[in-house]
Chain A
Amino acid sequence: MLAWTVWGISDYRKLKLALARGDREALIREYKVTIAGEVVGGALALAAVGWSILGADPDVDLAITGIFRSPMYGGIAGLALGVLASP
């Protein structure tokens, strides 16, 4: 966590320097690295805790959360979200 934070500071500083040079591609690269980090981090959290991480209290459950509790349907929903979010 600490290493990730220190890396983030350094990475953000490099991004600002690149943008100051007019290198707008650096921002796209930063976005791609961020997305990769989110995917890896989320996958690690899921691996560490399991699908119950998404589990809702039955008393306040929403119908759609049932989708995310199933690995198969969760994967399909995740893919659909990815397609919708892609540029």
Chain B
Amino acid sequence: MARLTKGRQGPVLVGDIGALIPVSRRERGWYAAVAVSAGIGEELVFRGFFLRLLNDLGLDGLALVVVAGVIFGLAHVCQGVAGVLMTTVIGILLGLIYIATGSLLVAMLVHALMDLRLLLLTVPAAPEHEAAGAADPS
């Protein structure tokens, strides 16, 4: 999911994620659901499953966390080189959090909060300016 830093002219996106930024209230609501589901689902897969799998294959220590982080980064290849590098670093950090705390829940929470941060750094569109589809109650 989205990673960004804040610059003088507003949020500076790290990686090619501009198309994923929500604008209308409806989009922001769905994005929040994406962020939470990504926090839970991706931690189950990339930290829970892959760390266990790689450990069973003989990797241990920092190498284990780094390889799992690289796999996580490569899964974000659609975000370009910068996105892959950024998500690799974040994947390594989340792996360290999981191992250090022994709890996948902590990594899930951190992951979801990082993705939800996008909602704080972007401003929702005024209702009158929202896309026509945003008013669709379905």
The chain A residues found within 8 Å of chain B, CB to CB, are 1, 4-5, 8-9, 11-13, 15-16, 19, 24-25, 27-28, 30-32, 34-35, 37-39, 41-42, 44-46, 48-49, 53-57, 59-62, 64-65, 68, 78, 81-82, 84-87
Of all chain A residues, the one with the shortest Cβ separation from B74 is A5
A30 to B22, CA, bound (A): 11
The chain B residues found within 8 Å of chain A, CB to CB, are 16, 19-20, 22-24, 26-38, 40-42, 44-45, 48-49, 52, 71, 74-75, 77-78, 100-106, 131-134
Secondary structure type dominating chain A contacts: helix
**Residues in B neighbouring A60, C-beta threshold 8 A:** 100-103
Of all chain A residues, the one with the shortest Cβ separation from B39 is A38
Of all chain B residues, the one with the shortest Cβ separation from A22 is B131
The smallest beta-carbon distance between A64 and chain B, in angstroms, is 6
Q: Please pick, from A25, A35, A53, the residue contacting B48 in the complex, using a CB distance under 8 A.
A: A53
Q: Are B77 and A27 in contact (CB under 8 A)?
A: no
Q: Are B38 and A38 in contact (CB under 8 A)?
A: yes
A49 to B71, CA, bound (A): 18
Q: Are A38 and B37 in contact (CB under 8 A)?
A: yes
Quick one: given A28-B27, A59-B102, are A45 and B75 in contact (CB under 8 Å)? Answer: no
The smallest beta-carbon distance between A30 and chain B, in angstroms, is 7
A38 to B52, CA, bound (A): 19
Q: Are A56 and B41 in contact (CB under 8 A)?
A: no
A13 to B20, CA, bound (A): 11
**Residues in A neighbouring B28, C-beta threshold 8 A:** 87
Q: Are A87 and B102 in contact (CB under 8 A)?
A: no
Q: Are A42 and B19 in contact (CB under 8 A)?
A: no
Q: Please pick, from B27, B78, B105, the residue contacting A64 in the complex, using a CB distance under 8 A.
A: B105
Q: Are A27 and B75 in contact (CB under 8 A)?
A: no
* 4 smallest beta-carbon distances between A and B, as pairs: A87-B29, A38-B41, A57-B102, A42-B41
